[in-house]
Structure 1
Amino acid sequence: MEQQEKKGLTMRILDWIERVGNKLPHPVTLFAIFALMVIVASWIFSTMNVEVEDPATGETLQVVNLLSNDGIQYIFESMVENFVGFAPLGTVLVTMLGIGIAERSGLISAMLRGLVTSVPRSLMTAALVFGGIMSSMAADAGYVVLTPLGAVLFAGLGRHPLAGLAAAFAGVSAGFSANLLLTSLDPLLGDLTIQAAATIDPEYADTILYTMNYYFMIASVFVLTIVGTLVTDKLVEPRLGEYKGGVKEEVDYISPIEKKGMIGALIALIVTLGLMSLLVVPSWGPLRNPDDFLASPFFHSLVPVILIMFFVPGYVYGKITGGIKNDKDVANQMSETMASMGIYIVLAFTAGQFVAYFNHTNLGKVIAVSGAEFLDSVGFTGIGLIIAFIFVAGFINLFIGSSSAKWAIMAPVFVPLMMQLGYSPELTTLAYRIADSTTNIISPLMPYFAIVIAFAQKYDKKVGIGTLISTMLPYSIIFSIVWILMLLIWMLIPGAEIGPGAGFYYNG
């Protein structure tokens, strides 16, 4: 009886999340509404003569009224510039050109299948979680490749297929921010962080690198792989019990031509890395700063580096396997990738207006300074504030799935706010990435949630939203706890960095 009551409460909470989330406008509309709210707020606060002291210059800052004559002129004259100047727009499109070739040529799919089908049975769970985490290098490919593959592999081994699906889903979605490599997410969020930090300290913002969280995310891969494996083997699979569905699966192993293509892609990657190193390693390298390596142009050129590192192996793989026959195929695959980015381009238009208005009106600085003074006056700073921010961001993630959309909303407020309290933009971004990943797997509004349910229903027709979330909840809770503890321990290490040149504190 008690268990039914608990289950009923859980289902009511999930139903509420689903209802509220479904009533939210599309992110494109949401940003348009936010832009209008900024316009109205600028009028209200300017008439109230709200002002703060600029922390960078010491000058008095007032809210700029966008409904004044000058403000209305700004709205019309800056609209195109706000769109094309939206920080992540070019970053995302350029990186996706390279990733698109690697994905559509079949290289990404072959790599993921090759990884998880070439390990011993005893390491299968760990391979699925690790492969899922690493799949973020190809954006969302892990959802449609690795998640169903996890179920197939477990079924083929006589284990419960939903446990394999859960392990892969946890790695792909809850571990999305972690990776051994730089992914498109690093410059995507990095641009928004830099843009937000520049409102407080432009000089400091110029020193922020896309690799700001790299060290921490490398370590996170191994920690989350171990944690995900233990959760699957000790909690999730025993709870699911013995599988009696009777669905037989044959594993789709790598074909000889795919193996040949992967070898060719690996050779191409090694050669490309070797040539690329000539631009950075020698003292005469054009992308190296001999006086300060972390200030080298290389670290500000990671977008084209990512493009090349995915494009070349993807092209070689496609030529060997027959997926790419000529330059027309390359152009078509790039075009298909850009076509899939159409909704993001539309989103960038309204998001660009919101971010630009927010910065132009000085509302960001006013909120940051006022909020920092309030939090400091009530004594709410330190570790408690960081943990609270992670929980707030994680809660918002239940309703808004897009990582960049949420950060475009939150960065202009929280990055300056945390800087006022002495915390670096790099740390704020890292805290956001932890929150953004760990609650993905329990949000019914996550774009791939319905697809994962469809995969699961192949093995159990009764699987629904509640079933999937109850299965994934242990991952979400334990990943959150472990990741937060890992961050706190990292902060206690003297002189520790979360990325090249990236510390925890800001001393502006």
Structure 2
Amino acid sequence: MSAANNKQNKQNSPNSIEQRGWFTRFLDTVEWLGNLLPHPITLFALFAIFIVLASGIAAFFGVSAADPRPGNEGVMITVNSLMSGEGVRWIVSNLVTNFTNFPPLGVVLVAILGVGVAERSGMLSAMMRGMVMGASPRMVTIVVVFAGVISNTASELGYVVLVPLAAMIFHSLGRHPLAGLAAAFAGVSAGYSANLFIGTVDPLLAGFTTEAAQLIDPDYIVGPEMNYYFMAVSTFLIAAMGAFVTEKIVEPKLGKYNPSERDEEYEDDGSVKMEKLNSSEKRGLAFAGLTFLGLIVLLAITIVPEWGILRNQETGGIARSPFLNGIVVFIFVTFAIPGFVYGYVTKSMRNDRDVIDAMSKTMSSMGLYIVLVFFAAQFVAFFGWTNFGTILAINGAAFLETINLTGPLVFVFFILMCAFVNLMLGSASAQWAITAPIFVPMLMLIGFAPELVQAAYRIGDSVTNIITPMMSYFGLILAVAARYKKDIGIGTLISIMLPYSMIFLVGWVILFYIWVFLFGLPVGPGAATYYSLGG
């Protein structure tokens, strides 16, 4: 009898071989392949070495491409060898400046200083709790997903605070806690690039895009704000789709929660409090909100009037103005000052030393990022100096023209490719550092602006985060889920999250096409949709 029960339990197990479909086996293969990949930092170092060796071989065989830019007819672009004397001298002379002048480095570190003050004062956590726990039971699902999207402004805040909190809230309402976990996880991770605020990911990606665009146009600049319109609208789409999937697909599939599935050894460690905001926190958020509004009004005075000091002093417009060029400064200010005000009111910050401690602790957590940027900067610089990026872009654009894939449809294939690569290379910065130098110039050559390419990339990079074990917080989410379903495995969690990926991918691509190609709207302030080599 016992053997029969064991057999039956095995068949009912969410991870039993008998019940594993082809997609689960496919994801297992992806996980296995992803585990074969070295650390992203090692990957960039290997790529840089590969570029050195490949440039020597390509130069020896005379690899080249015809320059397509107007006025350069008949000019051939050849590969510069890093294995030559000139190449070695260039490496030695530029290794440091490749790193220090790398656009994503400074802007991300400056932005994260301000975000760090707001996060460590407790302001961002209080905002998330107030938003989710203050929602009515009927609205709680969409608010959870919406809060997840907004939490991306503060990197890991959504994963560490909101996901466990959402599971607890759903449980307290008599709903399945894994549905709450899935809704929050979908907002935080599958909606990663959407937001109502310009956060640290925007200058990070813009820096890589600028470097890639300058392979074709040395004067091209992509600002952190260049995807803002599209990503702000996407916030509401993701919230609506996430709520729909949770209530119409995920919750019915999960069924009624059985408390016996809970891990009996789990005890709440108190890291996430199921408590509504106290009077001090409410007062702190009120003062922080007033401070934020004051900063916005002050900023508006400098850019709205025609005499505004942060307008472009030559044209009088907003395009290429100090305001847009210095958007990272305003990210820093609008997080740091309200964050300190909140901390001062709630007594979590009392003086300048507390602010400095918050900034230094935040910066200390960026060590891995700085090391990654060093090697990524070398790879990107090597790729550009050798002319590999330009030659690949020219030949790739020629191939797309040959197969007549030069219209908007090309973005469907591009987004799908990014979504697939994201299954194995979960870091947004690492993936874009590798793909941007190839695809940004390539799509520029067939007439699409870098800002548009970056917006499309962000869709593909986001939607598959929740179904890949390569995502850095996947293990954390699995551990939280195990509190409520002790026998949960990777396959079960992926099967819960898969509907979000599919619906988000289809819905987001449709929005992209309607926004850009049907309505002809820009993806951000001053962002172009099309690019012409002739200017």
Deviation of 1:22 after TM superposition, in Å, equals 1.3
**1:190 partner amino acid:** A
Partners of 1:14 and 1:481 in 2: CA distance? 20
Deviates more, 1:156-165 or 1:15-24: 15-24
Residue in 1 that maps onto 2:38:
25
Deviation of 1:501 after TM superposition, in Å, equals 2.3
Q: How does 1:282-361 map to 2 (within 5 A)?
A: 282-289=305-312, 291-361=316-386
**2:54 partner amino acid:** A
Q: Secondary structure at the match of 1:258?
A: helix
Q: Secondary structure at the match of 1:458?
A: helix
Partners of 2:120 and 2:173 in 1: CA distance? 30
Of residues 116, 120, 123 in structure 1, which corresponds to 2:136?
Answer: 120
Q: Secondary structure at the match of 2:65?
A: strand
Deviation of 1:276 after TM superposition, in Å, equals 2.0
Verify the 8 A CA contact 1:109 1:145 in the aligned structure 2: yes
Of residues 122, 134, 149 in structure 1, which corresponds to 2:150?
Answer: 134
Following TM superposition, the consecutive aligned residue runs of length 4 or more in structure 1 with deviations greater than 4 angstroms are: 3-6, 246-250
Verify the 8 A CA contact 2:176 2:255 in the aligned structure 1: yes
Residue in 1 that maps onto 2:234:
220
Deviates more, 1:275-284 or 1:68-77: 275-284
Deviation of 1:87 after TM superposition, in Å, equals 1.5
**1:89 partner amino acid:** L
Q: Is residue 2:211 matched to residue 1:195?
A: yes
Verify the 8 A CA contact 2:408 2:517 in the aligned structure 1: no
Q: Is residue 2:55 matched to residue 1:42?
A: yes
Deviation of 1:285 after TM superposition, in Å, equals 2.2
Q: How does 1:342-381 map to 2 (within 5 A)?
A: 342-381=367-406
Partners of 2:78 and 2:523 in 1: CA distance? 35
Q: Is residue 2:459 matched to residue 1:418?
A: no
Residue in 2 that maps onto 1:274:
297
Partners of 1:235 and 1:268 in 2: CA distance? 41
Structure 2, unaligned runs of 5 or more:
1-10
Q: How does 1:238-277 map to 2 (within 5 A)?
A: 238-245=252-259, 251-277=274-300
**2:255 partner amino acid:** G
Deviations 1:31-82 (A, max 9, x none): 0000011111111111111122223351321110000001011111111011
Deviation of 1:494 after TM superposition, in Å, equals 4.7
Q: Secondary structure at the match of 2:138?
A: helix
Q: When the two structures are aligned, how many residues end up with a matched partner?
A: 506
Q: Secondary structure at the match of 1:422?
A: coil
**2:213 partner amino acid:** A
TM-score by length of structure 2 reads 0.91
Deviations 1:143-171 (A, max 9, x none): 11110111010001000000001000000
Partners of 2:48 and 2:317 in 1: CA distance? 40
Verify the 8 A CA contact 1:496 1:503 in the aligned structure 2: no
Structure 1, unaligned runs of 5 or more:
none
Deviation of 1:277 after TM superposition, in Å, equals 2.1
Q: Is residue 2:83 matched to residue 1:83?
A: no
**1:395 partner amino acid:** F
Deviation of 1:295 after TM superposition, in Å, equals 2.7
Q: How does 1:103-182 map to 2 (within 5 A)?
A: 103-182=119-198
Q: Secondary structure at the match of 1:381?
A: coil
Q: What's the C-alpha RMSD, in Å, of the aligned pairs?
A: 1.8
Partners of 2:492 and 2:35 in 1: CA distance? 19
Partners of 1:267 and 1:490 in 2: CA distance? 33
Taking only the aligned residue pairs, the percentage that are identical comes to 47
Partners of 1:460 and 1:198 in 2: CA distance? 51
Q: Secondary structure at the match of 1:52?
A: strand
Deviation of 1:8 after TM superposition, in Å, equals 4.1
Verify the 8 A CA contact 1:442 1:472 in the aligned structure 2: yes
Verify the 8 A CA contact 1:434 1:480 in the aligned structure 2: yes
Deviates more, 1:221-230 or 1:11-20: 11-20
Deviation of 1:188 after TM superposition, in Å, equals 1.1
Verify the 8 A CA contact 1:435 1:480 in the aligned structure 2: yes
Deviation of 1:4 after TM superposition, in Å, equals 7.0
Residue in 2 that maps onto 1:14:
27
Q: Is residue 2:470 matched to residue 1:457?
A: no
Partners of 1:124 and 1:86 in 2: CA distance? 42
**2:211 partner amino acid:** Q
Q: Is residue 2:504 matched to residue 1:504?
A: no
Deviation of 1:292 after TM superposition, in Å, equals 2.3
Q: Secondary structure at the match of 1:61?
A: strand
Residue in 1 that maps onto 2:5:
none
Q: Secondary structure at the match of 1:293?
A: coil
TM-score by length of structure 1 reads 0.96
Identify if the C-alpha distance between structure 1 residues 371 and 6 changes in structure 2 by more than 3 Å, giving closer, same or farther: farther
Verify the 8 A CA contact 1:415 1:425 in the aligned structure 2: yes
